[in-house]
Structures are given as structure tokens and as C-alpha cells.
Structure 1
């Protein structure tokens, strides 16, 4: 007769190969059984609470499970870790964030940061097998306490741009999460996003225009380049003489070799159609907008019809 699978296997399979000592006790497995697995090198102890039924370095998912299982039922992935689980790209951090109602002097786990919150952790958690905060509260709470304001705005814009949520859902959660730091500026940002602004950089363009008295541009205009490809410009103005000035804002990811090469090609093929392309970095737009304004004015944008 074939050997029966061990009683802990279903729980381990559901939790990326991790189990807690409490789960094992409920299954009738003694300390002696656990010690035998550890001594034989078949399992490894992650903390005084959590065991891995695998060997070797933990995977990313296992580390997330380790943090939540160690913290107990009133815990869930939060912050950028939660958003990573929901599919947010280019914002992940190596450290896993676990939100807990009360720490109870939790034993530390390498690679996991336990953050106390008074928010109702379980009520804000999605139905995913791995307890994870919903997109909106995870994004808003992280943004509310992020010391760099631009990063806070950028995260909310990225969540909308990548299709994880909408400005309307985020606005509704601002009300549900009262009190929330930066609630008023967040609502202004969401108003811009709902009106069509797709990134924090685009919002900075509008701020620059209003500050220096430049007509607001058209955003994400469809254009066909010299190679016949469909392109979308970040911002553009139509001058009085019929020419078009396009402002392209380069973020940090544009500095990779692949994006830099693609941007050069994009620039050339737009210019070949007669569009005047002006480029700046997101940092320059934020820190020195007057430099960008100077060049736009020199090109005649003040007389444009946007």
C-alpha cells in the first residue's frame, strides 16, 4: 500500500512550504517529530514560530509567508509589498513589510519589517490566500507617511497608470481612512488623474504651466512617427505658425541602456515628422522648472493655442 502523505502537507502546500508550530500541534504532531525533521536537515527553523519544510534560501513568496505567519492572524502584507503582490511594477523593495495590530515584542526575521498600525488590519485585507492589504489602503497609507512628497504622488499615479485602481476608488478610500495625512493634496492629485494626467511628471508639467503662466498643453497626444509607429507625446503645444512643440519627460527608468536607446530612436522619428521635441528629466522639471520654461518660451509656447 502506498505511503500516506504527511498530515502537514496540505497546510505547507497552501503556504509556500511553511508551517507554524501551532498548526503542527493541532495536527497532533509532537515536538519530537519536529526536532527529528530539523535534525535530519529536511526542515529549517525560520523563527521560534515558523518552520520551512524546504531547505535552502527562502523564496520571495516564502519570506512574505514567514512574516505573516510569524506575526499571527491579525497581520497582513502592507505598503509596497502588498502592492507588489497586486502586480505593481518598478516599485518593489527587498524588505518585506508586514502590518500588525500589536507587535507583542515580535522576534525579528531577517528581511522582514513589522510595522504597527491602529488600522483594522483584517478589515482592509483582500481575499488572497496570503493575507494582503487591498490596493487602495496600502497605497494611501504608504503615501501618507512617505517623507518624500513626490514619491507619494508618484506611487498613487503609478497605481492608476498600471491599472491597479482608479482615482475614484482611491478618493473613496481617503474618506474611509480618515484621518489620513496629505488627504487634501491627494484629492487634488486624484482630480488631475481623473482628468487624464497619467503620471506624477505630467502633474508637474501642469504645475509648471500654471506657475509661469504658460498655456496648459495637450497630454498623451496620438502621433504617427516617420516609421509609421503610433506614439503618444507627454505634452505638446501648437504654435501660432502651425508648428508643434512636444515636451518629453524622462524618468529614472529612461536611463537604462534599453530605454535610452529607444528614446533616442523615438526622438529622431518624431522630429522627422516636423515636431519640435524638447526633453527634460523628471528631476529637472521638479527642481528647476524655470530652465524648462525658458526654452519653451524661446520656442514660442506663450503664443500657442495649447
Structure 2
């Protein structure tokens, strides 16, 4: 509303409202166009930040997605950060239907380096990932968000770690730190992180994650987990392996590994997470057959 009256006279603003060219969303916020049209995602973010008042910034998963993080996470709440001395704006209780719930979070830990100008203003990517992981519904979702942020090169583990050190009261702080250590070790997908933790828990040697190899055609391939000393390669299959094209390519790659003399085991991500004892038993048997001794 302040921007409108800064550009136009109050009577001009009232005329546009009276004729239906503009519509009042809630106190202080106006919308141009069809009042019944659904808000698209960018508009939802703008409304949330503007309704929260001065110095508010988009935060958490919404801020990470606004900065380019890809993924199929659904959120029912758009998180907004405001300085600790501010009260949650009364406007939030009068937002129109069709918007996700808006949750205003107060914080004492929002230095200038964690703020980023944008459309709308938001927390920087590393801070957004830390907050999103802390506010996630489950530990698995928290790890998925961190792994995706690093895998998509939106932030490095070091950048996330620097933000985490500034936030001693961050939720899931220990989990975030452990996840970053696993990512630095080469595991960039949640299934690979689960595999590394399974090996630790069952006292198996740790694999080398994301190992680079060239196939018979000279193309660079990445192995999910590789025990170089014992020539054991483990592939953790996610949902994309159900696609027939991926499946055929995986079979060719598996054949090439056998031709070169390595062993290969394949597990589903579900088995790694839900049947860890069976996976550990097969890993132990394969490593032992290759010469490993506990």
C-alpha cells in the first residue's frame, strides 16, 4: 500500500480499488488482476514476506527453492524470519485463502552475511539449508535437503558448516554436522549416506564414495560406493532405476565392472534403510570373499 501511494495519489488508489482494477488482499497489501485467481508460488512468497512487515526475509525451504534448489518437497507452511525484537504481524491472521500458512519465526542470529537481496528478500542458501534441515518434519527429510543442496552445488559443506557454527542453538545441529561429514566423505545422496552409516554401525570398512571411473567408451562414471582394496563396488538403486533406459544402462555398466574383475552388489535404497542387517550380512560376505579380515 505504501508503494502504491508513493507512486499515485490516495484518490487514484481508491479509484482503482473501487473499479475492481486492484484488490485488497489484507491490510496494507494490494493485488492487481483477478481477485479469484490462484496465487502462484512466487506470489505466495511475496505476500508472506510483505505481510510479515519490515526487515522480514523468506527463510528455510521456501528460501532455498527461491534460490534454485530443486526437489519435490512439499511444505504446508512458508517460513519467514524477522528480528527477535519484532512481534509477528497481525496481518498474518487475515491472509486470504489459497495461500499456505505463513509462520513467522523470530531470531537473534541473522547477520548481514545471512541475508540476500532477491524477489523477495531471503536468507542466503547456506543459512536456508540449515534452517530447512532444522525445521524439516523428519530426520530423513533434513538429510535429503542438505544432500540435495550440496549435490546440486547450491552450497558447499564448508559454507553450511560456517553458518552452523554461528548458530549454537540450531535444531538438529548434531545431525546436520554428521551429515556434512558424510557428504565431505563422498556420499551425496541420502541412500549413500545411509550406506556409510550402516558400515560404521556394523563395523565394516568404509567405502570410497562417488569414485570416478571411465567406462569402455571413455565416459566418466561415478560409483556410489567402492572398496578399492577389495575390488567391491556397491550400487544403491533409487526410483530412477525403474526407468527402462536407466535400467539398460545400469546393466551395461554392471557388465563392464565384472569384465574388469571387480565384484558388484546392488541394493535398493529401501533395503539400505529398512533391512540394514541383511545388507550388512551381504557386504560382510562379499568383503570376506575378497580377502578382508575383521
Q: C-alpha displacement at 1:304, in angstroms?
A: 4.8
Say if 1:137 and 1:177, in contact at 8 Å, map to a contact too: no
Distance 1:264 1:277, change over 3 A: farther
Number of the residue aligned with 1:42:
21
- The TM-score with structure 2 as length reference comes to 0.82
Q: C-alpha displacement at 1:122, in angstroms?
A: 7.6
Say if 2:52 and 2:104, in contact at 8 Å, map to a contact too: no
Distance 1:122 1:188, change over 3 A: closer
Give the match's secondary structure for 1:231.
Answer: strand
Q: What CA RMSD, in Å, does the superposition of the two structures yield over aligned residues?
A: 2.8
Q: Render the CA deviation track for 1:80-129: whole Å, top value 9, x for unaligned.
A: 11001111111443656141433233223432332232215584321224
Number of the residue aligned with 1:58:
39
Asked if 1:99 corresponds to 2:89, the answer is no
Asked if 1:236 corresponds to 2:188, the answer is no
Asked if 1:23 corresponds to 2:10, the answer is no
Say if 1:74 and 1:122, in contact at 8 Å, map to a contact too: no
| Equivalent of 1:89 in 70, 76, 84 | 70
- The TM-score with structure 1 as length reference comes to 0.79
User: 5+ unaligned residues in a row in structure 2: which ranges?
Assistant: none
2:80 and 2:201 map into 1 onto residues whose CA distance is 40
Give the match's secondary structure for 1:220.
Answer: strand
| Equivalent of 2:131 in 141, 153, 158 | 141
| Equivalent of 2:183 in 157, 174, 193 | 193
Say if 1:99 and 1:116, in contact at 8 Å, map to a contact too: yes
Q: C-alpha displacement at 1:212, in angstroms?
A: 1.8
| Equivalent of 2:249 in 248, 251, 266 | 266
2:227 and 2:292 map into 1 onto residues whose CA distance is 7
Pairing 1:106-121 to 2, within 5 Å after superposition: 106=92, 107-109=94-96, 110-120=98-108
Give the match's secondary structure for 2:57.
Answer: strand
Number of the residue aligned with 1:10:
none
Say if 1:250 and 1:280, in contact at 8 Å, map to a contact too: yes
Across the two proteins, how many residue pairs are aligned to each other? 278
Q: C-alpha displacement at 1:68, in angstroms?
A: 1.5
2:134 and 2:4 map into 1 onto residues whose CA distance is 40
Give the match's secondary structure for 2:102.
Answer: strand
Pairing 1:173-252 to 2, within 5 Å after superposition: 173-225=163-215, 229-237=219-227, 244-252=231-239
Q: Render the CA deviation track for 1:190-246: whole Å, top value 9, x for unaligned.
A: 223223332332221111112223222222222344555432110123576xxx442
Q: Render the CA deviation track for 1:40-92: whole Å, top value 9, x for unaligned.
A: 44333333322222334333222221222222223121111100111111144
Give the match's secondary structure for 1:99.
Answer: strand
